A = this chain, B = another copy of it.
Amino acid sequence: MIPLLDHFIEIRKKTTQLCTPLSVEDYIPQAEEFTSPPKWHLAHTTWFFEKMILSEFLDNYVPFNKDYNFLFNSYYNTLGKRVLRKHRGLITRPSVAETYEYRTYVDENITTLLSKTVPEKVKQLVILGINHEQQHQELLVTDLKYSFSLNPTNPTYDTHSNLVGEPNNSSGWLTFSEGVYNIGHSSNSFSFDNELGRHKVYVHNFEISNALVTNGEFIEFIEAGGYTNFNFWLDEGWSWLRNEKIDSPLYWKKTDGKWFYYTLAGLKEVDTNAILAHVSYYEANAFATWKGCRLPTEFEWEIASHKTDWGKRWEWTNSAYLPYPGFKIKEGAVGEYNGKFMVNQMVLRGSSVLTSIGHSRNTYRNFFHPHFQWQFTGIRLIKEL
């Protein structure tokens, strides 16, 4: 197993590498309150290590800059006041260069800390920080795509990869029998608190698709009037669609009878064989209804995960994001990581083409509000028996 310090350094480097294609200008804007600028992601993940670990456990540690706790705290009430979320794109100072200096400074101090023997608690926090950084790696590129998509010149992040998801060769339905299953994380390896603890769930017979829905299949839904027939939609989904004038997945646009979408490699014609992405829970649910199917619960998904081909898209489940039996919010700032968001969100399982390699696992619980399309979100179907 890779030593902790090496793992730390590798993951930190990966974040920097993701920024290689960026100009200084690209680091700054925040397109919407729910997205964040690349520079902020770089600084916030660094602040996480500084505030949660260095300030607590490294003797005589001097914070890089006393203002950064205000500037780069995301949502930890325990750790004090912070800049308004919607103002993250206005903080042009510190500069991008200073932000990289901040990263270096913190990396050096973490290196110092980990070069000696540290208590298990510190190791766990470093691992948490690494996983936190990986989450922000994905968010950084996801948010960037959203921001770039609003530039009518369709800027390019990486011309070699449009990250649309590889053609999907698996197919068919997998059958599972009803009974009591164990759900949740159990091994000694890292997991977030929301995956704990391992517990029993009774699941009924179900049949689950091995393959994710493709763009081509979703175009059939569109062409069958999927966005104009209320029968397929949840009531709030139907309101959302009409208020926001939604008639396709995010980034899609029909020109001269052909579907195009904005990708990180620029504007491309939609690849009908590729896996669908950028649909909201409402769209996923409507598609499933149109198909005479439904979405899996997160338990069905986890049970099936040992046999399915997953990992190319975050998959909407029909489970609300709620605590597992015995879930307890931890004391202190770390307790604010997951538990306080357990209402009004739906669980997504799997991972996406943007997810840091090795970050996800089959007990991983991602979660977003049902109207969000900007993540790489796709659809897997359940046929009820």
Contacts and interface: CB of A to CB of B under 8 A. Distances in A.
A122 B216 CA distance: 43
A346 B77 CA distance: 26
A27 B25 contact: yes
Interface string A71-109: 100010110000100010111110110000000000000
A23 B153 contact: no
A215 to B, nearest CB: 25
B234 A342 contact: yes
Interface in A134-164: 147, 150-153, 155
B204 A343 contact: no
A296 to B, nearest CB: 12
Contacts of A87: 150
A372 interface: no
A210 interface: no
Nearest to A91: B151
Contacts of A294: 323
A384 B236 CA distance: 34
B25 A93 contact: yes
Interface residues of A, number: 66
A90 B151 contact: yes
B23 A93 contact: yes
A281 interface: yes
A234 B343 contact: yes
Nearest to A324: B204
Contacts of A71: 152-153
A151 B93 contact: yes
Contact of A384 (B93, B234, B319, B326): B326
Interface stretch (A195-203, A246-254, A257-265, A350-358): A195-203
Contacts of A326: 204, 384
A64 interface: no
- Copies of this chain, whole number: 4
A180 interface: yes
A85 to B, nearest CB: 11
Interface string A232-245: 01111110000000
B234 A340 contact: yes
A192 interface: no
B344 A90 contact: no
B93 A153 contact: yes
Interface in A26-49: 26-29, 31, 39
A341 interface: yes
B236 A26 contact: no
Counting from the closest, the 8 A-B pairs by CB-CB distance are A320-B320, A25-B92, A202-B202, A28-B28, A235-B340, A24-B24, A77-B230, A200-B202
Given A24-B95, A199-B204, 7 more contacts: A25-B92, A31-B90, A77-B238, A91-B151, A93-B155, A180-B180, A237-B343
Interface of A: 23-29, 31, 39, 67, 70-71, 75, 77-78, 83, 87, 89-93, 95-96, 147, 150-153, 155, 178, 180, 199-202, 204, 230-231, 233-238, 281-282, 285, 289, 294, 318-320, 322-323, 325-326, 329, 340-344, 346, 370, 384
